[in-house]
A and B are shown apart, each in its own frame.
Chain A
Amino acid sequence: MFFHIFKYRLKIILHDKSTMFWTMIFPILLASFLYMSLGRLGAQETFQTIDTAVVDSGGDEAFLSLVQSLSEGEERLFNLHLTTKEEALALLSAGKVQGIIETGEKMTLTINESGIEQSILKTFVDNYAQTVSAVNRIAAQKPESLKMLPIFLAGDTVFLEDRPISRAEPDNLLIVFFSLLAMTCLFGGFLGMTEINAIQANLSGQAARMNFAPIHKLKLLLSGLAAALVVQFAKVLLFVAYLAFVLGIDFGTRTGLVLVTLLLCTLLGISFGAFITSLVKGGEGLKTGILLAVSIAGAHLSGMSYAALKYIIETAAPPLAFINPASLMTDAFYALYYFDTYGRFIESVAGMVIFTVVFAGATYFVIRRRKYVCL
């Protein structure tokens, strides 16, 4: 009997086009839109060779050769344009260069706006003037050391070593997609809702008929939920495959644990829908509304529109993060991706398990042994 019901529930779920759209097509479209519009935000932060115009009016050979040496090779600082003042200004207003360095008695930097590139240019120009000042001071204070200066200046210039803090790159754009995934898992609640609607006699005619059948309510519930779980998990896997292989979203290296987490998220989503449907008295519109509001608002609060919002909430109001299932899900994926340790991951997963148990348990106690005076 279990498999009989399971089979038909499966067919019913698969034929529900509207739910299919919202729980599978819509997330994929949304992810594509987000990817298209946010894809280049990360590049904004990355250092890009600075287009610089140099106007040489003073014949400062040392400076020119320094700039030229920094404009060569793969990891160069500048793309150099050696030109006249007029042309440089034209390039600047056309946005072809970010700044103009004019050599001379006093070096000047001409720019159009403030920004990190302009700040780097400024630091570079300052640096040169600062070294000149140091050399002049030493020449004035201790002329005899002047001939030693080239040797002093030529020393090793490496003062910094890179100490990466994690194996994974700190790419916070991932949070946007992790929270979108969380929202998708919570949308699985629609399937939980359909299942409860199909077995609670006061919610649909079909359910009233089902309650006549000589079959244990728990079996009825479990076979329906199992069908929902199979379909929803398949959809979530498909969505994750789209994120990972088409959009190139990095889930880190712990694939096995990511899959387990996905299963847990799917369970949480379905039980959440079942919980709302069985507990909330009211029309289907109200239940759908609650489901949508909790999933969408929850996803936004866990960083779907602005990744740092998740961090702000976690540091300013930790309880708010812990009662938000979307935030727990997002956090679990984030912890798997970013941290070398498991403490954080286990914390989030524990929260998800608690939610699932509470939702599922409450649902069972609400729907069992219901009797109706009239239907």
Chain B
Amino acid sequence: MSVFKVCLKILQKNLPAIMLYFIIFVGLSIMLTVLLRPAETGEFGRTKVDIAFFAAEETPLVSGLREALAAQVNFVPMEEETEKQQEALFYRKIQYILRVPDGFTESFLRGEQALLQKTSVPDAASAVYLDLRIDRYLEILRLYVKARPELELSQQVAFALDDLAIDSEVVIAAPETESGVWVRLRYYFNYLAFTILFVIILAVSSIFLTFNGLDIKRRNLCSPIGARAISLQCYLACAAFALASWFLLVLLSLIFGYREIASPATWFYILNALVFTLCASGLAFFIGNLTRNGEVVNAVANIVALGSSFIGGVFVPQELLGGNVLRIASFTPTYWYVRANGDIAALTNFNLQTLSGFFAALAVQIGFAMAFVIVALVIGKRRQTAA
């Protein structure tokens, strides 16, 4: 096992740089996982839109409008400064600005055309949502103004608000959505793909960069150890490093999500991560065989890890990616890894039938791993003849 030992020595030498990446990425993924709030399901929650409300007059109509909107909006205090409002709208601190111009109530009551001024993100669903409510309040109020003109405005507003308080029944059909508890772990495991890919490619390639140096290669070829044994021991060392990284990341996940250890989902996540790790080491093995230039490896590690993570759904959920992007992504193992995680997150009971999608994704990853290793061995063989 002399080759194996040398490989570990090379890894040890490169450990500080690798650890640096490792710590940064893990820190980042934990931060992102904590920041993400899982969507609550089971009960209908009305969407609340953040709005800025400016009224140039205070009348019962205006206070009624505020009350009518209260169920659907959060009123965000905002200064009367165009640039501040523009900026808040740009970053969606507010999504809607509503202005009641001076004299609105009077012209409304007289039956003239009266317009409120709104500013929204163009074509936004949130604007449609609020427009519906505002229009309805003013329509019903106008009905009372016309049908019961003898009443005080405040009484008319009170009637309108009373009607607007009617709430129709909402039924949640099938709570077959994400079960909330293990959703957070899903995000942690999704980010893990990036860390694993980057770190393993970097580490594994460092071994190959050393071994593929022409002089060292020639020296090794005339040693009594066969070429196959050298390759095998190299791969063993890579696998050992990969498994160590996997173990460390899983350990962190268990510390971090200790409440979910009992759930079978956790263990399926871990299994998926293991298969992905093997796949990543196969990929790294392939890249390491591809080049002798350290800078190229660094570039490739960045492109492969970042690229497949972006289009495979690590940073942005797959549901939000376009069909074409996903089709391209399905040629990367990352896509299948993230997809398998998604399958698990969506499950409430685990049996062979519900898990079939998950196992199919695992099989694809194993296929990728084998393909990478085979291609790498072929390239390695050619290189050897060239040496």
Contacts and interface: CB of A to CB of B under 8 A. Distances in A.
Contacts of A123: 72, 129, 132-133, 136
B311 A106 contact: no
Contacts of B87: 311
B220 interface: no
Given A141-B148, A170-B89, A131 B125 contact: no
Given A18-B295, A134-B159, A160-B115, A120 B129 contact: yes
Interface in A102-139: 106-120, 122-127, 129-131, 133-135, 137-138
A74 interface: no
A161 B133 CA distance: 15
Nearest to A164: B119
B168 to A, nearest CB: 5
Nearest to A165: B119
Interface residues of B, number: 84
A322 interface: no
A15 interface: no
B115 A152 contact: no
Interface string A159-171: 1111111100110
B117 interface: yes
B174 interface: yes
B125 A152 contact: no
B122 interface: yes
B163 A137 contact: yes
A308 B142 contact: no
Interface string A32-56: 0110111111001111100000000
Interface in B284-330: 295, 299, 302-303, 306-307, 310-311, 313, 315-316, 320-322, 325
A338 interface: yes
B295 A170 contact: no
Indicate the member of A93, A119, A155 with the most B CB atoms within 10 Å: A119
A110 B372 CA distance: 48
Contacts, number: 240
B124 interface: yes
Interface stretch (B40-48, B249-257, B263-271, B376-384): B40-48
Contacts of B321: 36-37, 40
Given A131-B136, A166-B86, A138 B171 contact: no
A148 B46 contact: no
A29 interface: yes
Interface stretch (B92-100, B231-239, B340-348): B92-100
B118 interface: yes
Interface string B105-125: 000000101111111111111
Interface in A76-96: 77, 89, 92-93
B147 interface: yes
A36 B325 CA distance: 6
B168 A131 contact: no
B345 to A, nearest CB: 14
B302 A26 contact: yes
A53 to B, nearest CB: 11
A159 B92 contact: no
A93 B174 contact: yes
Contact of A163 (B99, B139, B159, B160): B99
A158 B115 contact: yes
A65 interface: no
Given A18-B295, A165-B86, A307-B91, A127 B136 contact: yes
Given A36-B310, A130-B136, A145-B147, A47 B124 contact: yes
Contacts of A18: 295, 299
B82 interface: yes
A108 B124 contact: no
B140 interface: yes
A45 B121 contact: yes
B126 interface: yes
A159 B90 contact: no
B144 interface: yes
B307 A29 contact: yes
A114 B124 contact: no
A133 B72 contact: no
B102 interface: no
A311 B91 CA distance: 7
Contacts of B386: none
A204 interface: no
Contacts of B320: 40-41, 44
Indicate the member of B39, B166, B302 with the most A CB atoms within 10 Å: B166
B321 to A, nearest CB: 6
Nearest to A133: B163
Contacts of B26: none
A38 B316 contact: yes
Contacts of B302: 26
B327 to A, nearest CB: 11
Given A93-B174, A152-B142, A159-B116, A130 B164 contact: yes
A353 interface: no
A115 B47 contact: yes
B115 A338 contact: no
A93 B99 CA distance: 41
A344 B168 contact: no
10 contacts: A47-B125, A108-B168, A116-B47, A138-B148, A156-B113, A157-B135, A159-B135, A160-B131, A165-B86, A343-B83
Given A29-B306, A114-B46, A130-B166, 9 more contacts: A18-B299, A37-B316, A92-B173, A107-B168, A110-B170, A111-B173, A153-B139, A311-B90, A338-B90
Interface of A: 18, 21-22, 26, 29-30, 33-34, 36-41, 44-48, 77, 89, 92-93, 100, 106-120, 122-127, 129-131, 133-135, 137-138, 141-142, 145, 148-149, 152-153, 155-166, 169-170, 172, 305, 307-308, 310-311, 338-339, 341, 343-344
Nearest 8 A/B pairs, CB to CB = A33-B310, A311-B91, A119-B47, A47-B125, A170-B90, A152-B146, A37-B310, A161-B115
